[in-house]
A and B are shown apart, each in its own frame.
Chain A
Amino acid sequence: MSAEMNAVPPMTMPASAAALPAATPAKVPSAAYAKWLARQRREKTLVLASRLLLLAAFFGLWEILAKTKVVNPMLTSYPSALWPTFVDLLHNGNLLTHTWATFKATVVGFVLSMVFGIAIAAGLWWSRFANKVLDPFLVVANAMPKIAFVPIFYIWLGSEYSVYGMAVAIAIFVTIMVAYEGFQSTDPNKIKLATTLGASRAQVLRMVVLPGSVPTLIAALKMNIGLSLVGVIVGEFQSASEGLGFLIVNGSQVFKLNIVMTAIVVLALMSALMYLVIARVEHHLARRYG
């Protein structure tokens, strides 16, 4: 008897402490608490300042090394030369058009691979047989260097659609595998609970598996956006007549490293922007699904 009792796992939270669902702060914070808060704020500021400093150091070092000819500025260009190029490209070189083309293609590729990836993963979850049959093909397809298909996609899909195709090809397999992994790891007891209440398989998918996999799907989202961008740039290298990838290849062919570097900096800014958007989405969803 006692052995059995001991086997009972302890509760995760003491009942008394947990009975206060949200900490209710005291009306007048104590001095120690104010100090603790100040320390938290200071740390946050310090992290942000360090990040900015690191960025400034990177650009500063780049500028100095190129200007003092430690590295060949012909090969690396330098930050202060990028600004005039940037302005020039903006006015005369359709930089906005190129950026927009890349951005649009990334979003299209991202949305397509997210939607189809999740749908296929749901199909694999639905049919254990299909999953067993398709599993090795998926693993191989994922391991394949999709870049090998760039010329074929160009021939098959033409210059615009081959860029989308490349983004989807690069991003979708990881989405399928990550999403399926998430669906598969849904607590079987949560499914059992829905089943005891009479849930159909479609209801289990909609009410348990999908909402329960939101944290995994966010992880897939993060990977997906980066991979879509990779696919778009690679696609543009080969086939496009616009886009940042086109600008990079074009610039390097005529040996204008300023253009190449400017395009890369714009690309970095774009990644940062997309990352921020996703971080917002994640923050919003984590409150509910975390």
Chain B
Amino acid sequence: MAAANLRAAGGLPRIDVRNVSLRYFTLQGETQALDDISLTVAPGEFVSIIGQSGCGKSTLLSIIAGILEPSGGSVTVDGRPVTGPSPSIGYMLQQDYLYEWRSILDNALLGAQIQKRDMREARERAIHLLHKCGMGDFLHHYPRQLSGGMRQRVALARTLVTNPDVVLLDEPFSALDSQTRLAIADEVVEVLRSEGKSVVLVTHDIGEAIAMTDRVVVLSRRPGRIKSEHLMRFPSHGKRPTPFEARALPEFNTYFSTLWDELDVHVEG
């Protein structure tokens, strides 16, 4: 279900990024961070964006989320232009950033409270989601009592409580140790798929991109341009593998070496 196929079939993309560019101004000069990015994401599709540090991939996510205004081009979600943070977009940051003065349940309710939703309904949904993310026994705990993986699960629940159509993940596992990130990638993908979300994942971890998403977009070095797109298909498995299963499939290694060459990594020093 590539975006191109979808467009040919006449479906409306969930996210439509058109010719987006971004320039930064500082007193030292100006920097072209993103250059002419166009990208669509279909409803229910998982797309990842990979690129080296500083290529502007997180910046692109901030633009889609509406917290950064592009210098040129436009972003629409479900046909509506993005002009600021919107309840239909959920954003998961690199770390959980749970508020340590709020209980787990109250942390999960942050978005609902900010958006002045019906709190009784939101509470029910938060409890349901926390159970779904395996945090049901910790509703009244405080963040400092939880491990990194547990905290990131709460962050996922917090993102989903306001029921956004699109979830943006900005290296959401980068603060976790490698075992935890493998385990939690499975859980997060499962929850997001079962909720029918469209997902954009930004990561510098090639394996994570291949295992978690349907399509991988490679960004070039600054200024970030789209270098190539790759569909992740696992015919040897039949139905869609979980991220953990995907890592053991033969296709995984093929994709890995392709993407590794695309990224053109040079270790400096």
Contact = CB atoms under 8 A, between A and B. Distances in A.
B86 interface: yes
A3 B110 contact: no
Given A18-B150, A21-B146, A10 B93 contact: no
A19 B147 contact: yes
Nearest to A285: B101
Contacts of B267: 3
Interface string B242-265: 000000000000000000100001
B260 A193 contact: no
A107 interface: no
Interface string B110-122: 1101110000000
Contacts of A190: 97, 99
A5 B205 contact: yes
A214 B138 CA distance: 24
B101 A193 contact: no
Contact of A198 (B86, B94, B150, B205): B86
A289 B115 CA distance: 24
Contacts of B205: 4-5
A173 to B, nearest CB: 27
B76 interface: no
A84 interface: no
B71 interface: no
Contact of A207 (B110, B138, B148): B110
Interface in A184-242: 187, 189-190, 192-199, 203, 207-208, 211-212, 214
B115 A197 contact: yes
Nearest to A12: B148
B95 A198 contact: no
Interface stretch (B6-14, B15-23, B33-41, B174-182): B174-182
A192 B150 contact: no
A70 interface: no
A10 B181 CA distance: 11
A263 B260 CA distance: 78
| Interface bin, chain A | 35 or more
A41 interface: no
B254 to A, nearest CB: 16
A9 interface: yes
Given A190-B99, A197-B110, A13 B147 contact: yes
B85 A196 contact: yes
Contacts of A288: 101, 142
Contact of A15 (B67, B110, B147): B147
A262 B258 CA distance: 85
Interface string A13-40: 1110111011000000000000000000
A4 B93 contact: no
A288 B89 CA distance: 30
Interface of B: 65, 67, 84-87, 89-91, 93-95, 97, 99-101, 110-111, 113-115, 138, 141-142, 145-150, 162, 174-180, 204-206, 260, 265, 267
Given A22-B145, A190-B99, A194-B110, 13 more contacts: A8-B174, A8-B178, A15-B177, A15-B179, A17-B147, A18-B147, A21-B145, A193-B97, A194-B114, A196-B90, A197-B162, A207-B99, A212-B101
21 contacts: A1-B206, A3-B267, A10-B177, A11-B148, A12-B148, A15-B177, A18-B145, A189-B95, A189-B97, A192-B93, A193-B97, A195-B67, A196-B90, A197-B114, A198-B84, A198-B87, A198-B115, A207-B99, A212-B99, A212-B101, A289-B100
